[in-house]
Amino acid sequence: MNYSEVEERIKAGYREATAQYRLDDEVEVQSENHRRLAHTLKRLCHSFPHAITALDVGCGTGRYFHCLENVFHLTGMDISEEMLAAAANPVRHEEVTVTETELIRGNVYLASFPAESFDFIYSLGMFGHGCPVTIQIGNKFHDWLKPGEFCFLTSWTLPDCPGGIKPNAGPEHGFIHGFRRISNRHSTAVKSRRHSSV
C-alpha cells in the first residue's frame, strides 16, 4: 500500500470536513459510546502508578483529550493541518488536565519516534478507514512503548494477522484491540473484542 497516496486522499477530505467534524464533537461527547470510551481511557491512565506520556494516533480535533487523566505529556499526531489547528482548542478544553500537549503533523505509517518514548498509545476511530491495522504498525507501537506499558485502539476490522479472524463489521460495529509490552521482544497476544457503536 502506498501510504503517501492514502495520506493525500485523506487530507483532501478533511480539508473540507474539519469545521463540521469539530461541530460534531459537541454532539459526540454526549453519546453513550463516547462516555464508554472516556471511562476506558481514564481507567487505563489511572492504571499507571505515575504520571505518564501518551501518544494519540490520528488525534483529529482532540475529541478525547479531555478524557485523559494522570498524563503529563501528550503527543497528538494527525495527517491534517486543519484538524490539528482545531485540536489546539478541543471540545471540553476546560476539562483537559494534561500538563503538556504537543501537536505534530505526521503519517503514523511513515513516522518515527525513539524507542520506549511512551507509556500509553491510543487511537480511536482512525483504523479501518483506509488505515489498516498491520503487523508493521503493531511493531512500531511495540517499539515506541516502554516495557510493561499499554496500547489501546479501535478499528472497523480485525488486524491483518496470520490466522486472524476477519468478520464483516457493519458501520455500527467496530473492534477494540489492546496489548501490553512485556519485554524488548514480546507483547501479550492482541485481544480483540467486538463493540457496537465504536
Boundaries of every domain in the chain? 3-164+175-196
Which residues does the chain have with pLDDT short of 50? 158-176, 182-198
Widest Cα–Cα separation across the chain: 45
The confidence score (pLDDT) of residue 133 equals 84
The confidence score (pLDDT) of residue 135 equals 87
Cell numbers given for 50: 505515575
The confidence score (pLDDT) of residue 198 equals 34
**Residue burial 103-126, b: 16+ Cβ < 10 Å; e: rest:** beebbbbeeebeeebbbbbbbbbb
Dihedral over Cα of 81, 86, 90, 91: its sign: negative
The confidence score (pLDDT) of residue 116 equals 94
CATH number 3.30.160.270 is the correct assignment for the domain at 3-164+175-196? no
The confidence score (pLDDT) of residue 161 equals 40
Instruction: Give the tens place of pLDDT for each residue, 52-109.
Output: 999 999 999 999 999 999 999 999 999 999 999 999 999 999 999 999 999 999 999 9
The confidence score (pLDDT) of residue 95 equals 97
Cell numbers given for 15: 480539508
CA distances (Å), 131 to each of 4, 57, 115, 153, in order? Answer: 12, 11, 23, 12
